Amino acid sequence: MAQLLRKKSNHAGVGTGEYRSEKLLNFVSALIAPEDGALRKIRLETPKRGLPPINIGPDEGKILDFLVKACRAQNAVEVGTLAGYSSCWIARALPEGGMLHTLEYEAKHAQLARDNIRAAGLESKITVHEGDASVILSSLVKSGPYDFCFIDADKVNYPRYLRWAIDNVRSGGIVVGDNAYLFGKLHLSAKKAKNDGPAVEAMQEFLSTMADTRFFSSCAMIPTGEGMAMAVMK
């Protein structure tokens, strides 16, 4: 879509002169979020290997890179590995000696992620844990506290993963959740969302907790296509 797009807002104090075009967005992405061959191969090959094309894109990867470096993370956790694309973005942002523990339920996905991580030369910075996230997270407590946590997995369990992060991410650390708009259904009631009702309730609880000042000092939503929510631990 090459035509100029105009976004309007109903929020007081927000201007209506925000103009974006596909060419502009592509230009910015190429400028600030370039992929090298290893990252591009993971992203493009993932669906060809029979995995769903649900990984983040380069723009979201660069956001993760920024946040990891902003909080000076050394010890990180990712819930939801898929083929390892986001894992590589996070690990590359970690300093030498840093470690990312990434969790994947599906054996096929975990094995492909290990292969991709090895090909990217990041096996010394990433440990892929295979199995049920709740069990694995319990075992990772002893390796904490953590500086950064990225949640991009089954939506109904986002609140559970967030509670773990609250207990195990240090003060000043950052927690991030992808797909926070819940594919455009976040604002619906569980009844209207029908089959997605449980996920809607879970994501609404997740975001309410992220905005809870008892646990976090600041919370924000980056309006990516899927919505990326983030919060700083109090």
pLDDT tens digits, one per residue of 135-175: 999 999 999 999 999 999 999 999 999 999 999 999 999 99
Q: What average pLDDT is seen over the chain?
A: 91
Question: Is 8 part of a structural domain of the chain?
Answer: no
Counting the structural domains of the chain, the total is 1
In a domain, 202, yes or no: yes
Query: Residue 60 belongs to a domain with what CATH number?
Result: 3.40.50.150
Backbone angles phi, psi at 173, to 5 degrees: -75, 170
pLDDT at 19: 65
Residue 167 lies in a domain: yes
What confidence score (pLDDT) does residue 206 get?
98
The Cα 109–Cα 64 span in angstroms is: 21
66 contacts: CB under 8 Å, gap ≥ 6: 93
Q: Is residue 23 part of a domain?
A: no
Task: Give pLDDT, residue 119.
Answer: 96
116 in any annotated domain = yes
110 and 104 Cβ atoms separated by less than 8 Å: yes
Flag whether 174 is in a domain.
yes
Helix H or strand E encompassing 151: strand 146-151
Share of the chain above pLDDT 70, in %: 91
What's the domain range around 106?
37-233
**Distance, CA of 25 to CA of 35 (rounded, Å):** 15
Write phi, then psi, for 146 (nearest 5 degrees): -110, 160
How far, CA to CA in Å, does 75 sit from each of 122, 174, 189? 15, 11, 37
Q: 103 lies in a domain?
A: yes
DSSP string computed for 108-141: HHHHHHHHHHHHTT-TTTEEEEES-HHHHHHHHG
Per-residue pLDDT at 168: 98
The full DSSP string for 49-76 is GT--S-S--HHHHHHHHHHHHHTT-SEE
Lowest pLDDT segment from 14-23, 59-68, 105-114, 125-134: 14-23
Percent of the chain having pLDDT more than 90?
Answer: 78
In a domain? residue 135: yes
pTM (predicted TM-score): 0.89
